């Protein structure tokens, strides 16, 4: 039966983290009922920015659909319900991490499937790293088979978030689906030459010059990690606007032994961002000079916590609460950029308003 969009469109955000997906969906006009995450350290950040959505501190493996229905007051078979699943992605990431630690999260998509089966929502939205799409070990093929068996029509693939309002080259797997009708496709991205570092950080964007180790107040959060004397010397010798560690590779005291004679590997490590290009993917350790091309384009430091959040398209009023800089960086790097989630939310609304369901 055809119906038009109303304020009844609601979402539950599984693996919500700091709330990037929830925030963007709400900006699109979708009511987010709750975010679910087993990381209690995200609770204060999530609630500070996403009320009246609730924060449900649960491992979804221990959460029943009955309990979720009681908490959120949703109904089964609700055409206006969106279940969102952005499960932790470290296991499938190309970034070299300890896979043993992340192995427990590798198949959370199967747990998400249980809620889709039991609640039968009108819409499904998933965001994850490309690895979940490409790995032979991924549970994704089984999940797609399940969706088809439940008569969900879906479109999925790899997108670059830079084509969806984000000033990063951030590639992600996205799936969007519905059981209400066919014809729901991923939104088409568009190139925007303004989505570059220069237009988001720097003094012209109200980021005053600071030194490495500067600690700002918790609200502004223009805080930069302290650098060792050697790393400070390295960044000073790295040319502005995209310089790399090749500039000091022949200086014995500065060269990193692991890269000696291997200048072609991990070329972005210790590098500076380019002013007029999108930023690299903002990871959970973006505030560390040694973990990627996270050097400020011209100041002698890694980018600040607030600069990273801004490149993730969080507004400056977005409050991050955590016990230390590393925890805040992890919340920011793990988040779905709100600009991307807003685009996805508006795409679902447009689909409904065009009379597709």
User: Would residue 89 show up in a list of annotated catalytic residues for this protein?
Assistant: yes
Residue 7's pLDDT is what? 60
Return the HEC string of 285-310: CCCCHHHCCCECCCCCCECCHHHHHH
What is the pLDDT, as a whole number, of residue 201? 98
Is residue 123 very low, low, confident or very high in pLDDT (cuts 50, 70, 90)? very high
pLDDT > 70 in the chain, percent = 93
Average pLDDT over the chain, rounded to whole?
A: 92
DSSP class of residue 153?
E
- For 149-181, the pLDDT digits (tens) are 999 999 999 999 999 999 999 999 999 999 999
Res 222 pLDDT > 90:
yes
C-alpha 180/C-alpha 177 separation (Å) is 9
Question: What pLDDT was estimated at residue 265?
Answer: 78
Report, as an integer, the average pLDDT of 38-60: 97
What angle do the packed helices 43-50 and 20-28 form, to 10 degrees? 10
pLDDT recorded at residue 107: 75
Is it the case that residue 115 has pLDDT exceeding 80? yes
Between 184 and 7, residue with greater pLDDT? 184
Using alpha carbons only, give the angle 128, 130, 136 rounded to the nearest 5 degrees: 110
Give the pLDDT confidence of 302-318 residue by residue, as tens digits.
999 999 999 999 999 99
Q: What pTM did the predictor assign?
A: 0.93
The arrangement of strands across the sheet holding 171-178 comes to 54-57, 31-37, 10-14, 81-85, 123-128, 171-178, 153-160
pLDDT of amino acid 1: 40
Answer yes or no: are the C-beta atoms of 132 and 109 closer than 8 Å: yes
Angle at 89 between CA 86 and CA 91, to 5 degrees: 150
Q: Is 132's pLDDT higher than 50?
A: yes
Q: Which CATH architecture has domain 10-190+336-353?
A: 3-Layer(aba) Sandwich (3.40)
Query: pLDDT tens digits for 1-34?
Result: 445 545 689 999 999 999 999 999 999 999 999 9
Q: Poorest-confidence range of 250-259, 269-278, 321-330? A: 250-259
- Provide the token pair at 193: 């030459």
Least trusted range by pLDDT, from 123-137, 210-224, 314-328: 123-137
């Amino acid at each position: 039966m055809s119906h038009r969009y109303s304020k009844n469109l609601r979402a539950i955000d599984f693996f919500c983290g700091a709330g990037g997906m929830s925030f963007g969906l709400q900006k699109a006009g979708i009511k987010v009922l709750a975010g679910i995450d087993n990381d209690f350290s995200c609770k204060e950040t999530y609630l500070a920015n996403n009320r009246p959505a609730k924060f449900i501190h649960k491992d979804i493996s221990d959460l029943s659909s009955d309990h979720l229905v009681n908490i959120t007051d949703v109904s089964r078979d609700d055409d206006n319900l969106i279940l969102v699943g952005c499960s932790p992605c470290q296991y499938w990431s190309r970034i070299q991490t300890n896979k043993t630690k992340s192995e427990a999260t590798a198949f959370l998509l199967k747990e998400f499937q249980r809620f889709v089966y039991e609640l039968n929502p009108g819409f499904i939205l998933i965001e994850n790293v490309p690895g979940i799409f490409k790995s032979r070990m991924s549970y994704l093929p089984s999940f797609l088979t399940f969706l088809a068996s439940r008569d969900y029509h879906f479109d999925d693939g790899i997108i670059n978030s830079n084509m969806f309002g984000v000033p990063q080259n951030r590639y992600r797997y996205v799936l969007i689906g519905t059981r209400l009708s066919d014809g729901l496709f991923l939104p088409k991205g568009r190139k925007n030459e303004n989505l570059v570092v220069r237009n988001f950080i720097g003094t012209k964007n109200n980021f005053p010059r600071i030194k490495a180790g500067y600690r700002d107040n918790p609200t502004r959060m223009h805080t930069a990690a302290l650098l060792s004397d050697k790393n400070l010397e390295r960044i000073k010798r790295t040319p502005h606007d995209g310089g790399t560690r090749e500039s000091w590779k022949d200086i014995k005291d500065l060269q990193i032994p692991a890269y000696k004679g291997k200048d072609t590997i991990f070329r972005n490590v210790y590098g500076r961002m380019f002013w007029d290009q999108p930023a690299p993917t903002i990871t959970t350790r973006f505030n560390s000079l040694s973990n990627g091309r996270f050097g400020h384009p011209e100041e002698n430091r890694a980018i600040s916590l607030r600069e990273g959040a801004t490149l993730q398209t969080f507004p400056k009023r977005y409050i991050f609460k955590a016990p230390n800089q590393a925890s805040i960086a992890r919340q920011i790097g793990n988040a779905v950029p709100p600009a991307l989630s807003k685009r996805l939310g508006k795409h679902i609304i447009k689909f409904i308003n065009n009379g597709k369901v």
